[in-house]
Amino acid sequence: MSDLDQAIRQQRTTRATVTLTHNGSPLAQQEVVVQQQKHRFLFGSNWGESSIALANGELAGKEKEQAERRNERFLQLFNQVTLPFYWGRFEPQRGQPQTQRILNTARWYRDHQCVSKGHPLCWHTLTADWLLPLSKREILQAQIARIQRDVADFASLIEMWDVVNEAVIMPIFDRYDNGITRICQELGRIELIRTMFETARAANPKATLLLNDFDVSPAYDILVEGCLAAGIPIDVIGIQSHMHQGYWGVERTQVVLDQFARFKRPIHFTENTIVSGHLMPPEIVDLNDYQVSDWPSTPEGEERQAREVVLHYKTLMAHPLVEAITWWDLSDGGWLNAPAGLLRKDHSPKPAYDELLKLIKGEWWLAPTKMTTDANGQLTFTGFLGEYELSLGKQKTTFALAEKGQSQVAVNL
Amino acid sequence: MSDLDQAIRQQRTTRATVTLTHNGSPLAQQEVVVQQQKHRFLFGSNWGESSIALANGELAGKEKEQAERRNERFLQLFNQVTLPFYWGRFEPQRGQPQTQRILNTARWYRDHQCVSKGHPLCWHTLTADWLLPLSKREILQAQIARIQRDVADFASLIEMWDVVNEAVIMPIFDRYDNGITRICQELGRIELIRTMFETARAANPKATLLLNDFDVSPAYDILVEGCLAAGIPIDVIGIQSHMHQGYWGVERTQVVLDQFARFKRPIHFTENTIVSGHLMPPEIVDLNDYQVSDWPSTPEGEERQAREVVLHYKTLMAHPLVEAITWWDLSDGGWLNAPAGLLRKDHSPKPAYDELLKLIKGEWWLAPTKMTTDANGQLTFTGFLGEYELSLGKQKTTFALAEKGQSQVAVNL
């Protein structure tokens, strides 16, 4: 077993002792079936346009079949989805947000046991054009009102938010004028982040709030430190890793993890991309500048992608502070038309998908397993943290394993 | 007049109305001589080994003559000096600091109307080797005690300190193990800065305290923002500009100024270098890696340096928040053996020295000037902010011009 595999066992599994009783008496020598139902770790991906359309009953025929196939593949692997709240698309005309359409989508994911995250509440890219004629004060008020409205509207369906996205570059972003860069210049990064986090926190005190960035230089590290020193309630540090220009490798990923681990806060790898075609040239600085009509997935690329995806997920799973990995995008042809999918354009699985499935629902998963309780009504097994179902004949019950190392669970049937 | 020259006039001069009285009566129609004695702006350079030795009576013969020549050139141009407090050199053996030697030096500069700054109180480079066997807790205690001791020992002679130097790279500096990187990793940058600033502030509440860095990327910008948001009492933002690899140019310098101007705090350009020889190759990342036995000053290089030095000083003087410019080093053969001096190795002036002198003690200076008071005993002139002497016959008095724009001064003779 590799060092990574050992660390994963250490960080992610528990030795569970389950005591079965009936009316207070131990159920000794009983044969039961135990199976995992859910990972505690969040394995996710971002929405697909087709999954939103499907959840809103907008598809029929072949399109509907394709979207259903995509959803099946999604649910086979994942328990988390990132849903789009890009302001310019979410509310293209002021006062007419597409709340209902995303509510329907979030409900579909909830009904399929997926945790939804909203992305993002405040970002300078894809923000609303109608901010441009407003004063800075009005833009700030609109941004605050937007957070209040959307976080409240989605409470209970979405309790996890990328509150501020890419704040390191936000005030110095100079590709085009936009309302959010303007208010970030005015407030400074930390005061902008404070305002947005406090607004989101007030709108839903239970929500998990992330700061998210693609910058993994000391600038982001220092920004997180500055926010925490200023008392801003950041729950989770979000790190993007769009590796269109090549997989980081284990060592670099661990350096990044170590850099942010010192804050002793949960880390989410929020946007993970590894392509199965040619790499984007290294001289591209803003990934959005690489516009190609065709970026094919190749057999060699798919094999390489599969190896790298396995290493990437293992590296992150081995680190105790990482709590979520979100793939970006599930199928080819998404952002930048990159062959970044775990599925091809027709939603057929690439090797990376199959390998991830072997881990997430294989090596890191407890399939239905027969066990027999001892004289004290106890059974013992090692499992990954998450939710489990126990069946005794026709009786079923569920329990959670939430603490790594050792767990004691009492089940009354 | 160029835009820079106009901005300099606007930011640095005042239209002074001086009213002369004797026992309450206006001294009308009197011919007086007014001359500038000192700039309010700090024009400085770092110490020279020879100036320290000379102040301590350690030199004789030709060496003494050379050191005196250097001092003359220094005082002709400058009113600020940066004195060395590199811990490993200042206190090579624990408990035996060379306090007296630097006290003598600081007194010499004070006696010659120069403001001394201590550099630095906390830095991972050139720090004391005897920290290495200590625990992190002991290193931190030693660092705090060092600041308490030195800031107190030099109070009244040194009231300006580079408190923390190069904090952006401090915790990730990996060239060699050192005690300060260790405690910075432990505390984080902001807590380390807070500790050092609060210690220095307590040791001398009147002192002007700087954070200083060569990093002018968003990382430093964000660090300053984080420190201020955390309530750390940073008086001045220090920016190094060692341009061994080429002059930044006006535009880049202005971008850097704008980046830090948003904090609305004074800015010191603490370490300015422009060479008069070949440029250091651009691929060098840590300037200390460029080790050459010979790095000659050339005639063409000296002409280029003079043009660039003038532009650099004008660009900084034109920005209202800049309050100090410290040249690094005055004579060739200092740090990195670079031809970075305004003087050559023999302390003869290069064109850059002459051009600076023409500005600092010429264009930006009031030489002794005859003026006549009007019927109300008033005279009016435009001068750079600073201290002035007024002579009426054998009577002399001094006054300060401290506010740009318009100044009213009452002088009783």
The three-state secondary structure class of A162 is strand
pLDDT given for residue B1 in this prediction: 65
The β-bridge partners of A254 are: none
The β-bridge partners of B25 are: B22
pLDDT given for residue A1 in this prediction: 65
Quote the minimal CA–CA distance from A218 to chain B in Å.
6
Decide if A190 and B262 are in contact by the 8 Å CB cutoff: no
Which residues are CB-contacts of B189 (< 8 A; sequence separation ≥ 6)? A222, A225, B167, B168, B170, B171, B223, B226
Please give the Cα distance from A366 to A34 (Å, whole number).
8
User: CB-CB: which of A172, A188, A225 is closest to B188?
Assistant: A225
Q: Are A45 and A327 in contact (CB under 8 A)?
A: yes
Quote the minimal CA–CA distance from B130 to chain A in Å.
27
Chain B hits for A185, Cβ within 8 Å: 262
Place of tokens 């500069």: B109
Decide if A168 and B223 are in contact by the 8 Å CB cutoff: no
Chain A hits for B260, Cβ within 8 Å: none
Chain B hits for A223, Cβ within 8 Å: 222, 226
Quote the minimal CA–CA distance from B169 to chain A in Å.
8
pLDDT band at A2 (very low <50, low <70, confident <90, very high): confident
Please give the Cα distance from A275 to A312 (Å, whole number).
13
Q: Are B132 and B176 in contact (CB under 8 A)?
A: no
* CB proximity A230 to B under 8 Å: yes
Instruction: Order across the sheet with B386-392: list the strands.
Output: B369-372, B31-39, B386-392, B395-401
Quote the minimal CA–CA distance from A312 to chain B in Å.
24
Decide if B222 and A226 are in contact by the 8 Å CB cutoff: yes
Identify the burial level of A151 via C-beta atoms within 10 angstroms of its C-beta, where 0-12 means exposed, 13-18 middle and 19 or more buried: buried
Please give the Cα distance from B366 to B14 (Å, whole number).
12
* CB proximity A216 to B under 8 Å: no
* CB proximity A222 to B under 8 Å: yes
CA dihedral over A322, A324, A330, A336, signed as positive or negative: negative
Angle at A63 between CA A61 and CA A64, to 5 degrees: 65
Instruction: Find, among B119, B138, B122, the residue nearest to B130 by Cα.
Output: B138
Decide if A222 and B168 are in contact by the 8 Å CB cutoff: yes
Quote the minimal CA–CA distance from B226 to chain A in Å.
4
Q: Are B241 and B273 in contact (CB under 8 A)?
A: yes
Q: Is B289's pLDDT higher than 80?
A: yes
Please give the Cα distance from A78 to A117 (Å, whole number).
13
Please give the Cα distance from A35 to A13 (Å, whole number).
15
Q: Is B217's pLDDT higher than 70?
A: yes
* CB proximity A186 to B under 8 Å: no
Please give the Cα distance from B260 to B213 (Å, whole number).
12
Decide if A218 and B169 are in contact by the 8 Å CB cutoff: yes
User: CB-CB: which of B168, B188, B222 is closest to A189?
Assistant: B222
Q: Are B339 and B331 in contact (CB under 8 A)?
A: no
* H or E element at residue A43: strand A42-46
The β-bridge partners of B388 are: B36, B399
Please give the Cα distance from B133 to B146 (Å, whole number).
17
User: CB-CB: which of B191, B222, B259 is closest to A219?
Assistant: B222
* CB proximity A255 to B under 8 Å: no
Identify the burial level of A160 via C-beta atoms within 10 angstroms of its C-beta, where 0-12 means exposed, 13-18 middle and 19 or more buried: buried
- Give the residue on A whose Cα is nearest the Cα of B169: A218
Decide if B230 and A229 are in contact by the 8 Å CB cutoff: yes
Beta strands in B232-299 (DSSP E): 236-243, 267-274
| For testing contact with chain B, the best of A169, A183, A222, A237 (most B CBs within 10 A) | A222
User: CB-CB: which of B169, B172, B218 is closest to A219?
Assistant: B218
Chain A hits for B225, Cβ within 8 Å: 188-190, 226
* CB proximity B225 to A under 8 Å: yes
Token code pair at residue A28: 């000794």
Decide if B218 and A191 are in contact by the 8 Å CB cutoff: no
Token code pair at residue A409: 């669970």
Average pLDDT on B51-69 reads 97
Please give the Cα distance from B10 to B317 (Å, whole number).
10
The three-state secondary structure class of A23 is coil
User: CB-CB: which of A168, A217, A229 is closest to B229?
Assistant: A229
Decide if A225 and B189 are in contact by the 8 Å CB cutoff: yes
Average pLDDT on A299-326 reads 98
Quote the minimal CA–CA distance from A247 to chain B in Å.
23
Half-sphere exposure of B14 (CA within 13 A, CB side): 19
Cα–Cα distances in angstroms (integers) from residue B60 to residues A152, A272, B3, B9, B50, in the given order = 80, 69, 48, 44, 11
Please state the φ and ψ torsions of residue B400, each to the nearest 5 degrees: -115, 145
Please give the Cα distance from B17 to B37 (Å, whole number).
18
Q: Which of residues 293-322 of A touch B (CB under 8 A)?
A: none
At residue B54, what is the residue type?
Answer: L
pLDDT given for residue A242 in this prediction: 97
Q: Are A162 and A238 in contact (CB under 8 A)?
A: yes
pLDDT band at A413 (very low <50, low <70, confident <90, very high): confident
Decide if A218 and B262 are in contact by the 8 Å CB cutoff: no
Q: Is B36's pLDDT higher than 80?
A: yes
The β-bridge partners of A370 are: A33
| DSSP letter for each residue of B117-152 | EEE-SB-STT--GGGTTS-HHHHHHHHHHHHHHHHH
Average pLDDT on A106-133 reads 98
Q: What is the DSSP letter of A2?
A: -
Quote the crossing angle between the two packed helices A61-77 and A351-358, to the nearest 10°: 40
Q: Would you mind telling me the total number of residues written for chain B in this entry?
A: 413
Please give the Cα distance from A347 to A353 (Å, whole number).
10
Quote the minimal CA–CA distance from B1 to chain A in Å.
32
Decide if A190 and B229 are in contact by the 8 Å CB cutoff: yes
pLDDT band at B97 (very low <50, low <70, confident <90, very high): very high
The rounded percent of chain B whose pLDDT value lies above 90 is 98
Decide if B191 and A227 are in contact by the 8 Å CB cutoff: no
The three-state secondary structure class of B399 is strand
| DSSP letter for each residue of B19-65 | EEEETTEE-TT-EEEEEEEEESSEEEEE--HHHHHHHTT---HHHHH
Q: What is the DSSP letter of A217?
A: S
Average pLDDT on A165-173 reads 97
Beta strands in A71-207 (DSSP E): 80-84, 115-119, 158-165
Q: Would you mind telling me the total number of residues written for chain A in this entry?
A: 413
Chain B hits for A219, Cβ within 8 Å: 217-219, 222
Decide if A222 and B226 are in contact by the 8 Å CB cutoff: yes
Q: A184-219 pLDDT, tens per residue?
A: 999 999 999 999 999 999 999 999 999 999 999 999
Helices (H), strands (E): how many in chain B?
12, 16
**Pairs across A and B, CB distance < 8 A:** 58
pTM comes to 0.92
Chain B hits for A259, Cβ within 8 Å: 172
Instruction: Find, among B407, B267, B260, B244, the residue nearest to B341 by Cα.
Output: B244
Chain B hits for A169, Cβ within 8 Å: 218
Instruction: Find, among B369, B345, B374, the residue nearest to B70 by Cα.
Output: B345
CA dihedral over B308, B314, B320, B326, signed as positive or negative: positive
Chain A hits for B186, Cβ within 8 Å: none
pLDDT band at A298 (very low <50, low <70, confident <90, very high): very high
* CB proximity B227 to A under 8 Å: yes
Q: A242-266 pLDDT, tens per residue?
A: 999 999 999 999 999 999 999 999 9
Q: What average pLDDT is seen over chain B? A: 97
pLDDT band at B413 (very low <50, low <70, confident <90, very high): confident
Q: Are A183 and A143 in contact (CB under 8 A)?
A: yes
Place of tokens 């790898």: A269
- Give the residue on A whose Cα is nearest the Cα of B256: A172
Decide if B222 and A217 are in contact by the 8 Å CB cutoff: no
User: CB-CB: which of A172, A188, A218 is closest to B172?
Assistant: A218
Which residues are CB-contacts of A173 (< 8 A; sequence separation ≥ 6)? A124, A125, A181
Q: Is B310's pLDDT higher than 70?
A: yes
Decide if A217 and B219 are in contact by the 8 Å CB cutoff: yes
Please give the Cα distance from B388 to B366 (Å, whole number).
9
Q: Are B405 and B11 in contact (CB under 8 A)?
A: no
